[in-house]
Amino acid sequence: MRDYLLTLCVTAAVTYLLTGPVRKFAIATGAMPEIRARDVHREPTPRLGGIAMFFGLCAGLLVAAHLQNLSSVFELSNEPRALLSGAALIWLIGVLDDKFELDALIKLGAQMISAGVMVAQGLTILWLPIPGVGTVALTPWQGTLLTVALVVLTINAVNFVDGLDGLAAGMVCIAAAAFFLYAYRLWYGYTIEAAAPATLFAAILMGMCLGFLPHNMHPARIFMGDSGSMLIGLILAASAISITGQVDPDVLKLFEGSTREATHAALPVFIPLVLPLTIIAIPMADLILAIVRRTWKGQSPFAADRGHLHHRLLEIGHSHSRAVLIMYFWSALIAFGTLAYSVHSTSMWIVLGVVALSAIGLVLLLLPRFSPRAPRWAESVVPPRYRRRKRISVPEPVVEAPEAAEERIPVPAGINGATAIGNRARFPDRRKAGTPS
């Protein structure tokens, strides 16, 4: 565990320290697009945050390769090299898109090529656990098509959800944490060495997101852009492919009794990680809804609009920060709820806990104007937004009597106060006589 934590911290530190210089570089190169109709920020913000995240990935892999307990991952598996190759290609396309706004079909082609590069180097789905059937081996073509489809879907799901400050990085960090706990359990709980690469990928992905989040929280000083969103989406997909398509469920029969029982025991997490529909359920649902919505209107599925889930949260009255926290809550509930169920699938307390937390989430979702306030004794230790506002006494306006208002005589331009007083003494009944002033 210490080696994984060290890798995570190094990745986060490199990403955090490089984000500031990358922001200055983005401003100098003009990677600050004009505010579009679908954007929610009010000022042009630099992009290219994916540059810092990519170098954080490289630093994490470099450190892990020199650690005694993690160096075997690079010696026994070619998956880290496959991940780095695909990540470098998709990152380069993302950098070009952040600067020059590439066509959507070009980016789609680059995503498929990046997935193909990883498949060519061995990072692919070899078999699938099917309920009631057991382990089903895939042909090379089936494995390739399924791997490419999973990579493209995950990349675009993360890219679509990247619409609010800190949203994509936080949600992917939550998903990576769930991946890490599950893979670490297989690696050290069941001593399955095939789960080691996925554990390393998840730890590095958490470090990339944690290092970038301080610069990306509302109000964001820099955006990750497509160079960052497509990069973390690819790494997330690579973790799912490695943990699902490389770990043979037949190995678990030593602990569960038979292949079919092992498949059923691992089903709550194996099947979700295939597509993945629970770990990144919120981004995937947003992607599907966006495709259906745009196709129904006769638009291209890649056409941008303001109909995403986070846009709808803003429309019903939630603030920017609260909308992000709500998305965090639901992502964590689905990801860690599924993870807990996979460990203790016979416990009803887990199901009841998920139901209770879902009810709380619905209440928070339907009360957009609810503003929690801390008690007075805790106001000194909470942020200002949660403190009770003190009433400021406003003095009542002084109303002058009509007689005092009549005594005022307008002073023409060029006449000082002394001249006006002299005129008033010379003509005391001027206003009463009706003589125009």
| 315-373 pLDDT, tens digit each | 666 676 777 888 888 888 888 887 777 776 666 787 788 788 878 877 776 666 555 56
Q: Any idea what DSSP says for residue 188?
A: I
Range of the domain at 31: 2-280
Instruction: Evaluate whether residue 297 is within a structural domain.
Output: no
Mean pLDDT of 202-207: 95
**pLDDT tens digits for 265-309?**
555 445 445 445 565 666 667 777 777 777 777 776 666 656 666
| Contacts (Cβ under 8 Å, ≥6 apart) of 276 | 150, 154, 240, 284
Q: Which alpha helices (DSSP H) does 30-78 contain, by range?
A: 50-65, 71-76
Instruction: Evaluate whether residue 217 is within a structural domain.
Output: yes
Amino acid at residue number 7: T
Instruction: Evaluate whether residue 304 is within a structural domain.
Output: no
Tell me if residue 59 falls in helix, strand or coil. Answer: helix
Instruction: Evaluate whether residue 205 is within a structural domain.
Output: yes
In this prediction the pTM is 0.75
Instruction: Evaluate whether residue 79 is within a structural domain.
Output: yes
Instruction: Evaluate whether residue 29 is within a structural domain.
Output: yes
Q: Residues 160, 165, 168, 174: is their CA dihedral positive or negative?
A: negative
Instruction: Evaluate whether residue 230 is within a structural domain.
Output: yes
Cβ atoms of 411 and 418 closer than 8 Å: no
Instruction: Evaluate whether residue 93 is within a structural domain.
Output: yes
**pLDDT tens digits for 65-123?**
999 889 889 988 899 999 999 999 999 999 999 988 888 889 999 999 999 999 999 89
Per the structure, how many domains does the chain have? Answer: 1
